[in-house]
Amino acid sequence: MNEALLQIEHLTTSFRIADQYYAAVDDVTLSVRENEVLAIVGESGSGKSALAYSIMGLHTRAKTEGDIYFNGHNIARLSPSKLNKLRGKDMSMIFQDPLSALNPLMIVGAQIEEVILLHQPKLSRKDRADKAVELLAKVGIPRPEHTYGRYPHELSGGMRQRVIIAIAIANGPKLLIADEPTTALDVTIQLQILELLRKLKADSKAGIVLITHDLGVVSEMADRVAVMYAGQIVEIADIYTLISKARHPYTRSLLQSIPTAGETKSRLHVIQGIVPSLQNLPRQGCRFRSRIPWIDESAHEEQPIMHEIAPGHWVRCSCYKHFRFPDSKEEELRHVLP
């Protein structure tokens, strides 16, 4: 097993709301190795993007605590200028919405060149342009010389996302953070983009943090999965274990909520309620307990910790030992409805 490329230790990111700080990422510890895709999965509001932005040091107003070791160096303590040297070179990010991540007033070739110039200032103008075209070809854009001179609005969503990926890989990063890279795209294009990411990983051996709410994407792409709920990691395992032997009630509920072709689930499970807002998040006890009210309160730990139940398979709170799906819709709703 190779050493971690990225090691996050006790990372907490808090936002200020009405004079108080609330943690959106709460004591997260994770690692990513080179040539590995770590998927971070969870519902909207669970803190995935806040975590991604913290790794990249992109929060401007949040309070961030904890350590982020990248290639052995603690980048959580780097000055903004040193962090800038790293971003776009050794680590880069692919954003969810390609249209807002691109400058509408610049041709895409110039946008790729901009990031090359920033980190490889010695390249000649011609070499930079050649490299931009080469990158467009590498991300699967047909007629790259032609696309070089196009504005973002002249390209389809899928092509724009390829341009974003070309920008992200322009300086050969060791770590890529992809925040919902396919959410804004239609299904066939999604698959093409995932295939591209897979190919890029195989070529470069980069580590990838893939943020998604889509378990289908996870099963296509991930080597390991961290499941996030209400700011905390609640389960981590390799992809095979997570899909076949998930234990945390939240992970099991997520898996039970997706229809699978060729498999009859006795009943699809709808997770009642939503992730609580930051101010309303219970900070004591198991954060998922209010969404599985048919499970006895005594099943939860007072201060849930992560348990390693098999090598590399971690689960938060001992409630997993007592979890079952409700026997009937009536039982579920009896507890949920007032």
Ligand X SMILES: Nc1ncnc2c1ncn2[C@@H]1O[C@H](COP(=O)(O)OP(=O)(O)OP(=O)(O)O)[C@@H](O)[C@H]1O
Residue ranges that bind ligand X, judged by CB under 6 A: 15, 17, 24, 42, 44-50, 213, 277-278
- Specify the residue, 20 or 74, whose C-beta has the smaller distance to ligand X: 20
**Residues shown for the chain:** 338
Decide whether 24 or 168 has the Cβ nearer to ligand X: 24
Nearer Cβ to ligand X (24/319): 24
Nearest 10 degrees: Cα torsion 251, 193, 172, 238: 20
Closer residue to ligand X (CB): 93 or 155: 93
User: To the nearest whole angstrom, how small is the minimum distance from the Cβ of residue 273 to ligand X?
Assistant: 14
* Cβ-Cβ contacts under 8 Å for 42 (sequence gap 6 or more): 48, 213, 227, 228, 229, 275
In this complex, which beta carbon is closest to ligand X, that of residue 100 or of residue 328?
Answer: 100
For ligand X, the closer of residues 46 and 190 by Cβ is 46
Find out whether 27 and 232 touch, Cβ atoms under 8 Å: yes
Q: For the purposes of burial, counting CB atoms within 10 Å of the CB of 209, is it exposed (0-12), middle (13-18) or buried (19 or more)?
A: buried
Q: Token digits for 334?
A: 């009896």
Q: Which residues pair with 310 in a beta bridge?
A: 313
How many C-beta neighbours within 10 Å does residue 267 have? 11
Shortest Cβ 60–ligand X spacing (Å): 9
338 CB neighbour count, 10 Å cutoff: 2
Smallest separation, CB 11 to ligand X (Å): 13
CB of 79 to ligand X, least distance (A): 22
Q: Which is nearer to ligand X, 128 or 213 (CB)?
A: 213
Q: 111 or 232: whose CB is closer to ligand X?
A: 232
Nearer to ligand X, 49 or 92 (CB): 49
Instruction: Give me the residues paired with residue 74 across strands.
Output: 69
Phi, psi of 194 (to 5 degrees): -65, -40
Shortest distance, CB of residue 221 to ligand X, whole angstroms? 17
> Phi/psi of residue 307, each to 5°?
-115, 130
Number of alpha helices (DSSP H) and beta strands (DSSP E) in the chain: 12, 12
Minimum Å distance from CB 84 to ligand X?
A: 21
Tell me the closest approach of the beta carbon of residue 47 to ligand X, in angstroms: 4
Give yes or no for a contact between 289 and 297, defined as CB atoms under 8 angstroms apart.
Answer: yes
Q: In what order do the strands lie in the sheet with 175-179?
A: 91-94, 175-179, 207-212, 37-41, 224-229, 232-238, 313-316, 306-310
Q: CB of residue 85 vs ligand X: minimum separation in angstroms?
A: 25
Phi-psi region of 88 (alpha: psi -120 to 50; beta: other; left: phi over 0): left
- Smallest gap from residue 230 Cβ to ligand X (A): 9
Tokens of 151: 């504005």
